[in-house]
Amino acid sequence: MKFLDEARVYLKSGRGGHGCLSFRREKYIEFGGPNGGDGGKGGDVIAEAVEGLNTLIDFRYRQHIRADNGRPGEGANRTGANGADAVFQVPIGTQILDEEGEEVIADLTYAGDRVVLLKGGNGGFGNAHYKSSTNRAPRRADNGWPGEEMRVTLRLKLIADVGLVGLPNAGKSTFLSAVSRASPRIADYPFTTLHPSLGIVEQDGKRFVVADIPGLIEGAHEGVGLGTRFLGHIERCRALFHLVDGTAEDPAGNYRTVRAELEAYGAGLEEKVEIVGLNKADAMSEEEIAERRAALIEASGREVVVLSGVSGRGVPEALRILRRAVEAERPKPGQEAEPWRP
């Protein structure tokens, strides 16, 4: 399934049904009187977050969403039926913004979240509504109120516990495929990952979700490379796993490059819990590992885990650290999160 994280959709709620102008005409009733019923209400347009979706690809082919109109009223005081609501389903983590994509209208972050984006028009009154002691035969019936319409931008921000960050070819996709059943594309050239991937990791009987996003390069916050298009997918992550290619010429410099881009992007990414991993240990000698790990500790100011997604070295230890970080940042109801320490 093709990944799509942004779509523009036209929405229109239903028009209210017209009121009915009618009078009773039974043969043996001398003064029949008005009996025109009211029109039905137009359908609303509702967005609902559901599980099982992780892309907005459906809205590439469904760009117009319309609710049904209300039915008109009828004689014998029969009220018209209400129009059916138009409920469209979106993945968990979808933001609904205005047409320009600037103002957030709704943020659906939990399964079952629903928001009424447009209300249907009210039905018009039939002439029976206007009957009174001084107006015994009203000849007034109202038209239904028109529905509302708008264009919105849907923007998906994947909800994951851990976000993988790093330069292109740092081994993020290999790590994700090694610890989960995800099957991201893996190759030996930059920007192999063109769209985010999600994987469910099981460690010590616990589960957490890991998101792999395309690699960052210097100037990404200004749109260089794939830019910041996919950084929004890790805004909701509880922790970041920063993978650094240990076979690069300057692993510490590469770490500083990505870290600078996270800080330039903002949105709280620089404040998230970060675990640093020196990857591709299978392609380095023990002396090289010790030297580059020491340089990375100095650059990051935190402990560094050595691992290899290919050979599996250090992967279980890295997963335990990630699981502990996720659990510390995901407190139970009524409890405060304790400061996380590796």
**Residues of the binding site for Mg(2+):** 173, 193
Binding site members for GTP:
166-173, 191-195, 212-215, 279-282, 308-310
HSE-CB for 313 with a 13 A CA cutoff: 14
Handedness of CA 252, 254, 260, 265 (dihedral sign): negative
Contact residues for 141 (Cβ-Cβ < 8 A; gap 6+): 18, 19, 20, 21, 36, 73, 124, 125, 126, 127
Which bin fits 38, alpha (ψ -120 to 50), beta or left (φ > 0)? beta
User: What is the distance between the alpha carbons of residues 75 and 65, in angstroms, rounded to a whole number?
Assistant: 32
Which bin fits 130, alpha (ψ -120 to 50), beta or left (φ > 0)? alpha
Contact residues for 292 (Cβ-Cβ < 8 A; gap 6+): 246, 251, 252, 278, 284
Binding site members:
166-173, 191-195, 212-215, 279-282, 308-310
Indicate the length of the chain as a whole number: 342
Strands 45-50 and 162-165: unpaired
Lookup result for tokens 């940042």 = 329
